[in-house]
Amino acid sequence: QSALTQPASVSGSPGQSITISCTGSSSDVGAYNYVSWYQQHPDKAPKLMIFDVNNRPSGVSDRFSGSKSGNTASLTISGLQAEDEADYYCNSYTKNNIVVFGGGTKLTVL
Amino acid sequence: QVQLVESGGSLVTPGGSLRLSCAASGFNFSDYYMTWIRQAPGKGLEWISYITSTGGIMYYADSMKGRLTISRDNAKNWVHLQMNTLRAEDTAMYFCARRRQGGSRGAFDLWGQGTMVTVSS
């Protein structure tokens, strides 16, 4: 159960767009459309932002979008805002109902 | 109020055991798969266990398999995590979370605030 690979950090200015990648394998990201993304502010519980690759839960801004190509999923945040500064984690379903997370990406809004 | 509240975290010596609990309220608990996810200090999220809505099937991450037992009480809206033979590397915040309905595997849409487990002599 290897962790998914995410960049350690990304940054962008207010109003810009950024993309965070999440690379797995043909056993997880590449095999299933069950990739989710979470936002975590310091000392807070994670919040679900995207599920099933590209679906937003009710209440999540449409500035957040997800996609997948092969073994790599991506989270795009458009129109960056100061409150988007947080850690972001992807996860994927794998065989046998196992779930694997990425190592996390720290987003800095400059 | 729709919420999950964890309890049971504490300081425990290596080799010891601990039982974490998670109280659910505000939703039909028995309709949902429940899971435990942990986060070591300054580190990322790690999924560790799953239980189906009826409690009939449980899944565990390899990193803790054999040392964990997840269970639930649908009458009282609780999910528990029994952890045995604890090691220093098990030190983490342990979160209880609800899996989103509709078959979205891996999508956890409700989280508790976490309970801290520290393993140290």
Query: pLDDT of B10-24, one tens digit each?
Result: 999 999 999 999 999
Q: Average pLDDT of B108-113?
A: 97
Residue B71: name the closest of B58, B87, B61 by CA.
B58
Q: What is the pLDDT of residues B91-104, one digit of tens each?
A: 999 999 999 988 78
Query: Tokens 């609780």 belong to which residue?
Result: B78
Q: Please state, for a pLDDT cut of 70, what percent of chain A lies above it.
A: 99
Interface of A with B (CB under 8 A): 1, 3, 32, 34-36, 38, 40, 45-48, 51-52, 55, 57, 89, 91-93, 96-104
A100 closest CB neighbour out of B47, B108, B109: B47
CB contact under 8 A, B95 and A45: yes
pLDDT at A1 over 70: no
Residues of B in contact with A99 (CB under 8 A): 35, 47, 50, 105-106
Mutation target to probe the A interface, by most A beta carbons within 10 A, among B32, B33, B104, B113 is B104
pLDDT value of position A3: 87
pLDDT value of position B108: 97
Q: What is the pLDDT of residues A18-65, one digit of tens each?
A: 999 999 999 999 999 999 999 999 999 999 999 999 999 999 999 999
Which backbone phi and psi does A96 adopt, to 5 degrees? 60, 30
Residue of B nearest to A97 (CA): B59
Q: What is the pLDDT of residues B42-90, one digit of tens each?
A: 999 999 999 999 999 999 998 888 999 999 999 999 999 999 999 999 9
Q: How far is A39 from chain B (nearest CA, A)?
A: 11
Cβ–Cβ under 8 Å, residues B47 and A91: yes
Cβ–Cβ under 8 Å, residues A26 and A71: yes
Centroid of chain to Cα B101: 18
CB pairs under 8 A between A and B: 71
Residues of B in contact with A96 (CB under 8 A): 59
Distance between CA B107 and CA A63 in Å, rounded?
A: 19
Q: Average pLDDT, whole number, for chain A?
A: 95
Query: Tokens 């045995």 belong to which residue?
Result: B84
